Amino acid sequence: MAASHGAVDLAVAIPTLVGSLLSSIGTCFILATYIFLPPKLSHVRHTLIRNLAVAEFGLHLGGSISGLTILGLKRDLQDGPGCVASGFLTQLCVQAVDCNMLVISITLFFIITQRFDLVKPPRRITATLIVAPWILPTITSFTALFKHFYHPVSGNWCWIQAEPKYLRYVLTHGWRFVFIIAILAMGLRIRLYVKRNRIKSQDGLELEGMYSEGKDQTSSGYTEHLLETQDHDDAVTISEKSKTLLLLSGYPLFYVVLWLPGIANRVAEATGHPIRALAILQASTAYIGFANAATFGWNEVRDQFSVHRMLELTLGFMLSD
């Protein structure tokens, strides 16, 4: 028999629904951009962003549907097949987002420590980047499904039941805490790398100028040409790495910042001291997809896809009617 729940907590439901709707629209924009305006060159960051967008879209679409259902019925969700499906989708996608953020950070860390083909990477690398973030979510989401753990929870969705308290930490929160610590540690290392190589790039430009002057003043042009070529190749490698780091680093950053209220609320609930303000502020997690879409729009559309081209396509479609 379905268990009914009380009246809707609008202070929690409305901000969460707004965030879910914005994130759904934003991530849909990311996916649509890749479908209708694919980049000219395959780049490792496009694989990472697309995979993250798929997880975000599934998560926030489910949150939007359940949020609109709650406001339409003017009561919380009830147990039943729909709740189980919503809970399964939520667990699968929310942990896929966590894992995608970790994979992005690991990839960025790998870029600065190893030689890595950023443009047109091998297929096995691309396949690994796509599949790896979905392994853990698949295991935990099916585990919760088989154990009948999905029920209505606070917010706009069905998810893993609150009791026993360790359950959510074993399946989700514990992993997220570990991931965030790892992301912060790798982010610090990446930041130091970017800062150091920014100085190296400036030194490289000075050396290149010195070699150019020497070429005009001496007959050993062949040796200097080799030096110039080597310095130029190194500068291109550093420039491409730095560009990739800067374009992708915003995703883990917004993820960590917007999850801070949610983590604080989880800790407060686990210690038996729930705080009303934190329960409301945890709606910030619903805006992660929107933040990712804003990051994508600023970094990728402006640089790779050409805003002018998008406007031409949009206006052409509108005027064709």
Residue where the block lists tokens 């396949």 = 127
Structure-block tokens of residue 275 = 């705080």
Q: What is the pLDDT of residue 305?
A: 53
Q: Kindly give, in sequence order, each residue whose CB lies less than 8 Å from that of residue 167, ignoring residues fewer than 6 positions away.
A: 149, 160, 161
- How many CB atoms within 10 Å of residue 66? 27
Domains of the chain: 10-319 (1.20.1070.10)
Asked whether the beta carbons of 167 and 121 are under 8 A apart, the reply is no
151 backbone dihedrals φ, ψ, rounded to 5°: -150, 165
Q: What is the pLDDT of residue 240?
A: 61
Q: Please list the alpha-helical segments (H only) found in 79-173.
A: 81-113, 123-131, 135-146, 166-168
Rounded Cα distance, 91 and 270, in Å: 19
The helix (H) or strand (E) run that includes residue 159 is strand 158-160
Concatenated DSSP letters of 19-72: HHHHHHHHHHHHHHHHHHS--SS-BHHHHHHHHHHHHHHHHHHHHHHHHHHHHH
Q: Kindly give, in sequence order, each residue whose CB lies less than 8 Å from that of residue 158, ignoring residues fewer than 6 positions away.
A: 66, 77, 83, 84, 86, 87, 90, 150, 151, 152
For residue 240, give the DSSP letter. Answer: H
* Tens digits of pLDDT across the chain (321 residues): 334 445 677 888 889 999 999 999 999 999 998 888 887 777 888 899 999 999 999 999 999 998 898 888 777 778 889 899 999 999 999 999 999 999 999 998 888 777 766 777 788 989 999 999 999 999 999 999 999 999 988 767 889 998 888 899 999 999 999 999 999 999 888 888 777 766 555 545 443 444 444 444 444 444 444 344 444 444 445 566 666 777 788 899 999 999 999 888 888 877 878 888 888 898 999 999 999 998 888 777 665 555 445 445 444 444 444
β-sheet bridge partners, residue 159? 151
What's the pTM? 0.80
Q: What is the pLDDT of residue 217?
A: 47
Asked whether the beta carbons of 81 and 174 are under 8 A apart, the reply is no
Residue 119, SS3 per DSSP: strand
Q: What is the pLDDT of residue 238?
A: 55
* Nearest residue to 283 (alpha-carbon basis) of 25, 63, 49, 57: 63
